[in-house]
Amino acid sequence: MYTPERLSVFFQQCPATAYLIAFSGGLDSHVLLHSAAQLRAVHPHLNLRAVHVDHGLQTPSVGWARHCRQVCEKLAVPFACEHLKLKPVLGESVEAAARTARYAAFTRHLRSGEMLLTAHHRNDQAETLLLHLVRGSGVDGLAAMPEVRTFALGRLGRPLLAFTRQDLQAYADLHQLDYVEDPSNQDVRFDRNYLRRRVMPVLEERWPSVADTLARAARLQRESRELLHGFLGARLPELQGSRTGTLSVSRLLAQDVVLRKALLREWLAQQGFERPEEQKLLHVISDLLHAREDAEPCVKWHGCEIRRYRDDVYALKPLPPHDVTKVLVWGDISQPLRVPSLDLTLQPEVLGEWQEYLQANPASVTVRFRQGGESVCIPYRGGHHSLKNLLQEAAIPPWERLRLPLVYVGEWLVYMPGVLSLQPRHVASKH
């Protein structure tokens, strides 16, 4: 049986500066909000807020937002609402688009040290496990939803995972809660609704406690996942490449195939990227790890690019457009220069002795980018050297070379990050 006292155990075990309740107005989130508000009678310092996200996908949603505001006013819970105007592109899952937008809104509202609370319950957990199972997920997907995880500036908690939908319905009936009925929840074109309306009733007819069984299976998968992550996390430092955050190709290839795949997934997760589908991961192994050393392979998926240079594997965010013909004038060399296309700021310190030299010998300072075929005279190394050779010597990956800012004093190239730094004493005789 669900009671506010059962919820209080969660608050004791998971303290936070405040709790932001994701309040849709439906049965589950209304039970969570109402029971949390009741606890303030015995826990007056319990800091609650609520946020409602109107996706703008249904005409009645404006009324639902108004209803949520009225409920929060009655319960004396501070309320915020975000009205979105979602327009999923052709072929995009409405469910996925709504979820992404909803959690982006939650991120904007969650403050440092707070915990976002969602009203997922045991039946949701069972459905999540089945969804991941039919999609062919591995142990991470089959672990379903954890009770608490990090999220945005704080954490995300699901305090109702131990309770069934029937438990929450009984609480709502007892307290005569007036909650929103979203008609889209009946639409079996959506995967989760199909499982809830068509699949779960058949399973429950045969195995009445199937929701409990599936929730237990998810818990066991989480335990296995924790063991696996611990093992893989301890192994990854042994495979580090020449740059921080990279992996060594040769060391990866020394592992057996199953371990190699698991290490790649763990590495990507640690870098903050989504784990790829099986087919993409196989492409990383076949097209990238086994590529010629002078090749420039790249395997992409949403929000991630895997590249290789020499013996290193890199996980990168997609490179933004960049105009290599752009010339930036560094007019005041006592101030930083912003390079917008690279999301980079050059500090005056990179100019070194040039700051003082230019006071007596004025010359324009510009930032340019490599076009190809450039060379630079380095007196202390004996004459001209091609930029290509210098970049190769410095082990700068090819995709970074066109994005390196080249700082010129007049027509003299004097600075490239990680590659070149010429001072006036090196080149004064040439001016």
Q: Indicate the pTM of the whole model.
A: 0.72
The DSSP symbol for 237 reads: G
Q: Alpha-carbon distance 242 to 297, whole Å?
A: 18
User: Hey, what CATH class is 240-316 in?
Assistant: mainly alpha
Which two structure tokens, joined as six digits, stand for 186? 């009946």
The domain limits of the chain are 4-217, 240-316, 328-430
Instruction: Sort 303 into a burial class: Cβ within 10 Å, 0-12 / 13-18 / 19+.
Output: exposed
Which two structure tokens, joined as six digits, stand for 189? 């074109």
Number of other CB atoms surrounding residue 379 within 10 Å: 13
- In angstroms, what CA-CA distances link 359 with 196, 205, 372, 380, 409? 74, 86, 32, 25, 13
Give per-residue pLDDT as tens, 27-39. Answer: 999 999 999 999 9
CATH H-level superfamily of 4-217: HUPs (3.40.50.620)
Give per-residue pLDDT as tens, 323-373. Answer: 888 999 998 888 999 988 888 899 999 888 888 888 878 889 999 998 888
Percent of the chain with pLDDT strictly greater than 70: 98
Give per-residue pLDDT as tens, 173-186. Answer: 999 999 988 888 88
Section 125-141 average pLDDT: 88
Give per-residue pLDDT as tens, 379-405. Answer: 777 778 888 888 888 888 999 888 999
Number of other CB atoms surrounding residue 132 within 10 Å: 19
CB 313 within 8 A of CB 249: yes
**Predicted local confidence at residue 135, as pLDDT:** 85
What letters, b where the CB count within 10 A reaches 16 and e where it falls short, cover 73-82?
eebebebbbb
